[in-house]
Amino acid sequence: MLIADPKRFYKLSGGYDGFLDELRFIAANERSITPATKQKLRNSPALVATKMVPKQTSSKGKPEDGEDELYEAVHDLMVASNAVINDDQLAASVFASHVFCAPQEDMLESFYGSLGSPRLSALVKEEFRTGIEVKDGPALAHAERMRALIIERLPLFLNDMRSTSRSLALSWDWLQKPDNLLISSVQKIVRVITFTQGTFRKVEQQDVSASARHLTPTSFLAKPGPLSLSLSQSAQLDMYEVAGGLCRLILKIPRVQDSLLLLTLLTTDLRSLRRRGYNSQ
């Protein structure tokens, strides 16, 4: 019934939560699904996805239900190719009202991916336009403090990634070399981000406080180029942007929770991290 009449199956399962439970059960038993059935699943609007849309407001400009949140979740059934796996929370926040995302659970994301759901990072292209580098004393000191913090906390993050068998694009031995992790302060950073899915295309730009990228290698054999983290002097530093930028370059397949973990490690004092079981010696 799920394949033949997904909407009826959704209703009989009790709505979103019940339907999600059914999908979890199917995903947990994915190996038992025949190739023919899996192909039918790919072509049927049998997967649920969610996007965030602005709430309808009252005449006073506030959400009708009086809540502070300005967005609400809208669920819909669709084929796998239209449901996007959210592996870039920064992009998801920019295009929240345009992207239907798969449930953010590892097992379901793997199941959706096996049916053809694309990753958000594959649908997004971004460009960072940075202003002139600032090299005065305070700016250089700020950049040096940030580099020292990252070098201090990255081993904790990488150990956590290795303990969960995550694939790293960059190793600790490579990252800790002085010429491979460069931090600089610049006047301004503008992020230009383009989302394309099928015939839909949307471009947004926003001021951000940090951006990370690989510099062009100095020789053909030198790969990858140094990791360069730029910090804006015209915006209050958002450590989540720092964590997200680093994760996209350090991990082969970054996840939203990775950025949140690195954010926690960068912003929590060492004593508290030790109490949580992190070996920060």
Beta strand residue intervals within 7-122, DSSP E: 47-54, 71-78
Q: What is the pLDDT of residue 255?
A: 85
Q: Give the model's confidence band at 68: pLDDT under 50 very low, under 70 low, under 90 confident, else very high.
A: very low
Tell me 182's DSSP state. Answer: E
What are 174-202's pLDDT values in tens digits?
999 989 999 999 999 999 999 999 999 99
Query: Are 271 and 167 members of one domain?
Result: yes
CA 86 – CA 213 distance, rounded (Å):
20
Same domain assignment for residues 250 and 151? yes
The reply to whether 77 and 211 lie within a common domain is no
By residue count, the chain amounts to 281
Whether 143 and 100 map to the same domain: the answer is no
Residue 266: name the closest of 182, 177, 252, 245 by CA: 245
The whole domain housing 251 covers: 125-275
CA distance 63 to 55: 6
Instruction: Tell me the per-residue pLDDT of 206-250, one tens digit each, with 9 for 90 and over.
Output: 999 999 998 875 555 456 789 999 999 999 999 999 999 999 999
Task: Pick the last residue of a domain from 79, 95, 118.
Answer: 118
Q: Is residue 138 part of a domain?
A: yes
Residue 281 placed within a domain: no
Please give the average per-residue pLDDT across 166-171, as a whole number. 91
> Which helix (H) or strand (E) segment is 257 a member of?
helix 256-267
65 pLDDT above the threshold of 70: no
Same domain, 73 and 169: no
Using omega within 30 degrees of 0 as the cis cutoff, is the peptide bond preceding 224 cis? Answer: yes
The pLDDT value recorded for residue 69 is: 65
62 & 148 share domain:
no
Across the chain, mean pLDDT equals: 90
Q: What confidence tens digit (pLDDT) does each residue in 137-164 have? A: 999 999 999 999 999 999 999 999 998 8
Kindly state whether residue 103 falls inside one of the protein's structural domains: yes
**What pLDDT was estimated at residue 60?**
57
Contacts of 79 by beta carbon, 8 Å cutoff, 6+ apart:
42, 43, 44, 45, 46, 47, 116
At 66, phi and psi to the nearest 5? 80, 0
Mean pLDDT within 46-64: 76
The model's confidence at residue 54, banded by pLDDT at 50, 70 and 90, is: confident
> 168: which DSSP letter?
B
Alpha-carbon distance of 7 to 28, in angstroms, equals: 22
pLDDT in tens, 78-124: 999 999 999 888 888 889 899 999 999 999 999 999 999 999 999 99
- Do 108 and 133 sit in the same domain of this protein? no
Residue 275 pLDDT > 60: yes
Whether residues 86 and 133 share a domain: the answer is no
Q: Does the structure show a pLDDT above 70 at 271?
A: yes
User: Are 265 and 156 contained in the same domain?
Assistant: yes
Q: Flag whether pLDDT at 57 surpasses 90.
A: no
In this predicted structure, what is the pLDDT of residue 66? 47
Q: Which two tokens stand for residue 241?
A: 């942007």
